[in-house]
């Protein structure tokens, strides 16, 4: 398995534009997590899904952020409109079970810069 | 006071030393997660613990539920262990994740 695949690796966009981040979890994993990491706030959990259903989105900062998981092999995190304070590294992770003994597998992250 | 606190914040060690990183939390938890973030930014999940002790290679993680404390030990440390180690807990009441601010480890050759 190629692991958790995120795209793009880097994204630079202008303020006000829509940004879509993509994630392909490991086949067979039933949990998918979206995280954001900034220097100021560290690592934060934005939202997670179980069997494609959003379970907890309380970490989503505001209505400009939305996430979907239309099927077991694909998820998107969308920011519309984007703002400079959204600049961060966004990680996706997947696991088999929420408390899996094997932990989670993280993607390489998407570095987003909003100018 | 943060609900999850790690110590030390920064640690420099010589190759071969035994290293301990601590994580204390103030909430009831379902599980505790140790993560490793390499200088390049990639994150690796090391352990998920709800009780006792786990070992993987030179890494050992322990948790004491009564004392609300976990430790991550690295035996025979090596420069490739240089990374930021992050502790995260799953709050058993809210079922929300809370992250520590990380411990930056540097192992010198």
* Per-chain mean pLDDT for chain A: 93
Distance from CA of B77 to the nearest CA of A (A): 22
Looking at residue B89, its pLDDT comes to: 93
DSSP state of A86: G
Place of tokens 């599980």: B31
Is A101's Cβ below 8 Å from some Cβ in B?
A: yes
**Is the CB of residue A104 less than 8 Å away from at least one CB of chain B?**
yes
Question: Is residue B107 scored above 70 in pLDDT?
Answer: yes
B46 CA: distance to closest CA in chain A (Å): 7
The pLDDT value given to residue A99? 74
Cα-to-chain-centroid distance, residue A20: 10
Percent of chain A with pLDDT over 70: 97
Contacts of B95 in chain A (CB under 8 A): 56
Neighbouring residues of B68: CB distance < 8 A, sequence distance ≥ 6: B24, B25, B26, B29
What residue has token string 């103030």?
B26
Q: How far apart are CA B97 and CA B103, in angstroms?
A: 18
pLDDT digits (tens, 9 = 90+) for A42-96: 899 999 999 999 998 988 988 999 999 999 999 999 999 999 999 999 999 999 8
Comparing CA positions, the residue from B19, B6, B8, B9 lying closest to residue B107 is B19
For B22-79, how does the pLDDT look when each residue is reduced to its tens digit (9 = 90+)? 999 999 999 999 999 998 888 999 999 999 999 999 999 999 999 999 999 999 999 9
Residue among A96, A39, A77 nearest B37 (CA) = A39
Contact (CB<8Å) A99/B45? no
């Amino acid at each position: 398995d190629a692991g958790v695949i995120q795209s793009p690796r880097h994204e630079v966009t202008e303020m006000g534009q829509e940004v879509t981040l993509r994630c392909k979890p490991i086949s067979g994993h039933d949990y998918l997590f979206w995280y954001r990491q900034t220097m100021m706030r560290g690592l934060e959990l934005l939202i997670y899904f179980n069997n494609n259903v959003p379970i907890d989105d309380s970490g989503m900062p505001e209505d400009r952020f939305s996430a979907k998981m239309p099927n077991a092999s694909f998820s998107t995190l969308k920011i519309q409109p984007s703002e400079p304070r959204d600049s961060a590294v966004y990680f996706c992770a997947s696991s088999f079970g929420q408390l899996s003994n094997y932990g989670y597998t993280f993607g390489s992250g998407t570095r987003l810069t909003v100018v | 006071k943060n609900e999850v606190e790690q110590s030390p914040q920064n640690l420099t060690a010589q190759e071969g030393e035994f290293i301990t990183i601590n994580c204390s939390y103030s909430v009831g938890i379902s599980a505790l997660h140790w993560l490793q973030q390499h200088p390049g930014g990639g994150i690796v999940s090391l352990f998920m613990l709800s009780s006792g002790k786990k070992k993987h290679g030179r890494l050992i993680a322990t948790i004491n539920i009564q004392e609300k404390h976990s430790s991550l030990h690295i035996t025979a440390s090596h420069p490739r262990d240089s990374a930021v180690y992050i502790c995260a807990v799953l709050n058993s009441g809210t079922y929300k994740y809370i992250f520590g601010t990380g411990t930056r480890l540097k192992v010198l050759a």
